[in-house]
Amino acid sequence: PELQFPERLNCATELLDRHVADGRGDRVVIRAPGGLVWTYAQLQDQANRIAQVLVQDMGLVSGNRVLLRAPNNPMLAACWFGVIKAGGIAVATMPLLRAKELKAIIDKGQVTHALCDAALAEELALARPEVPVLRAVRHFNDAGPDGLEAAMARHSGRFDNVDTAADDCCIFAFTSGTTGVPKATMHFHRDVMATCACFPRHILRPQPDDVFIGSPPLAFTFGLGGLLLFPMTVGASTVLLDKAGPPQLLDGIKEFGATTLFTAPTSYRTLAARGTELRKTPLRQCVSAGEALPATTRAQWKEVTGIELIDGIGATELLHIFISADEAHSRPGATGRAIPGYRAKVIDESGRECPPGTVGKLAVQGPTGCRYLDDARQAGYVKDGWNLTGDAYLMDADGYFVYQARTDDMIISAGYNIASPEVEEALMAHPAVAECAVIGVPDEERGQIVKAYVVLRPGQAESAAMAQALQDHVKQSIAPYKYPRAVEFRPSLPRTQTGKLQRFKLKDTE
Ligand code: 3UK
């Protein structure tokens, strides 16, 4: 029943205006470095002005697509709500994208309007001559007479949200491209509310006094949910950092008294080195998603901070996390169970459900799901009403899902199935290893062999002896046939802007 929504629904009304109407307007919603603090009433005022600029000055009509481009900051959040209030579709883009990638998104999404941070104006300006569909652009965090702020000052802080249907689209989200070309997915107003009724309500259970902080960009749905929508479900607050590497996260947690952290496994691994400093802070909940969480990282985080990590698998196609476990129910090595509202199963090649303990393809069904802009791709992701995320998993007898690999990252060597992340985890437990990536490379005799790309910690020497030591270490920690027969040292590894390893790029170089 909690996932039934009225026919008319605007998620900005529910997540933002509701708090002001119910007397919570004076509560803080956003803080940012430099001392900026906005209450719910102030965010509403800003978003209402932006909605009017969009509709009255920029000619936006319901259903138009608005490109948003900024590092995480308060104006980006205000613009997101402004677009939603005006009945538009928010197309948030990763800050590091170049003109060519912006052009592809604008073309694919038929984006007509853009609100862009003045600091990131350049690449959009370069793309503009090639995208005539984009007819109106305004820049924010811009004090000039043509800036968005000057236009906002000419409007009132009052706006009646456009009366959207629960099934009207409000987000185009682009996937991070772990397997290459980014794909665009659509989400409706009710999907936003459904996501807020799942992971936050059943797993995180935030309190109004919680302070959220983290690294994922709001352009990545992991960040949009974790750093904007979820705190707003209970009138809590968020800290938006324009730079959110481990040092900034650490400083931010201390400065703002953050209680709830959202970041990726690699970031937890780096932060753990200074994790004891976090014991003196109010930090109490830490969410990891985006990539598999190695059991060693979970154990290390618990040891240095005393906090049990909350792992969760989410996907752009499903908007947010659908399998997870809270601190009390977490199991090392397992992502968790299907969050109430979702169903998940593991299926074999013919689509039949696998018995517990057997590796197969993850299939998910629930209140959110994949809607690609591109129909041809849709049939590949959604089969018989189940979303196929492209992950290999097994489910144990208690309904816990144990991650194996992306299905494209399962290596078949001499008839053995070997999951890249398992070999990576074994390697990362070696003290000389900072980062690594494991792929299968073609081999005449074995079909494929396991190859490891390794980034060593500072001060460690790249040598044949080191390679041998790493191979021996893997043979001793997991089944020996999984050890990397080839080891190559690298100064760094290719990652997406959401921080995910791009194993396909390494495969391409082979
Ligand atoms: C992988 C994980 C193991 C998995 C995302 C939380 O990552 C997100 O979305 P993307 O579309 O990628 C989806 C794919 O990433 N993955 C994510 N989380 C985990 N693998 N353990 C995990 N905990 O391959 C999945 O299919 O970029 C994550 C919330 C919103 C998101 N969009």
Look over the chain and give the mean of its residue pLDDT values, rounded to a whole number.
95
Containing 433, the helix (H) or strand (E) segment is strand 433-443
- The Cα–Cα gap between 427 and 424 comes to 5
The CB of 403 under 6 Å from ligand 1? The reply is yes
Position 390 confidence tier, pLDDT thresholds 50, 70, 90: very high
Q: What is the mean pLDDT of residues 108-121?
A: 97
Judging by DSSP bridges, how do beta strands 337-338 and 321-324 pair with one another? antiparallel
The CB of 175 under 6 Å from ligand 1? The reply is yes
CA of 334 to the centre of ligand 1 (A): 14
The CB of 74 under 6 Å from ligand 1? The reply is no
CA of 174 to the centre of ligand 1 (A): 13
Model confidence over 341-361: pLDDT tens digits? Answer: 999 999 999 999 999 999 999
CA proximity to 420, closest of 389, 455, 454, 451:
451
Going through 223-375 in order, the beta strands assigned E by DSSP cover: 237-239, 260-263, 285-288, 310-314, 321-324, 337-338, 343-347, 360-365
CA of 27 to the centre of ligand 1 (A): 32
Position 1 confidence tier, pLDDT thresholds 50, 70, 90: very low
Place of tokens 């209402």: 48
Q: At 22, give phi and psi (nearest 5°).
A: -90, 15
Partners of 444 in the β-ladder: none
CB neighbourhood size of 341 (10 A)? 19
Q: At 466, give phi and psi (nearest 5°).
A: -65, -45
Model confidence over 152-202: pLDDT tens digits? Answer: 999 999 999 999 999 999 999 998 655 556 789 999 999 999 999 999 999
In this structure, which residue's CA is closest to atom 6 in ligand 1? 314
The CB of 256 under 6 Å from ligand 1? The reply is no
| Among 316, 337, 404, 503, residue to substitute to test ligand 1 (most atoms within 8 Å of Cβ) | 316
For 290: left if phi > 0, alpha if psi spans -120 to 50, otherwise beta; the answer is: left
The CB of 174 under 6 Å from ligand 1? The reply is no
Model confidence over 431-454: pLDDT tens digits? Answer: 999 999 999 999 988 889 999 999
Q: Which residues of 51-76 are buried (b: 16+ CB within 10 A; e: fewer)?
A: bbbbbeebebeeebbbbbbbbbbbbb
- The Cα–Cα gap between 177 and 288 comes to 19
The CB of 297 under 6 Å from ligand 1? The reply is no
The CB of 440 under 6 Å from ligand 1? The reply is no
Partners of 287 in the β-ladder: 262, 310
CA of 266 to the centre of ligand 1 (A): 14
Alpha helices, DSSP H only, in 86-220?
99-109, 121-127, 148-153, 189-196
Residues 6+ apart with CB under 8 A from 246: 267, 270, 271, 274
| Among 311, 391, 502, residue to substitute to test ligand 1 (most atoms within 8 Å of Cβ) | 391
CA of 183 to the centre of ligand 1 (A): 14
Judging by DSSP bridges, how do beta strands 447-456 and 433-443 pair with one another? antiparallel
The CB of 221 under 6 Å from ligand 1? The reply is yes
Least confident span in 125-139, 171-185, 480-494 = 171-185
Quick check: 301 and 309 in contact, CB under 8 A? yes
Residues 6+ apart with CB under 8 A from 227: 72, 212, 213, 214, 216, 218, 238, 240, 262
CA of 464 to the centre of ligand 1 (A): 35
CA of 324 to the centre of ligand 1 (A): 12
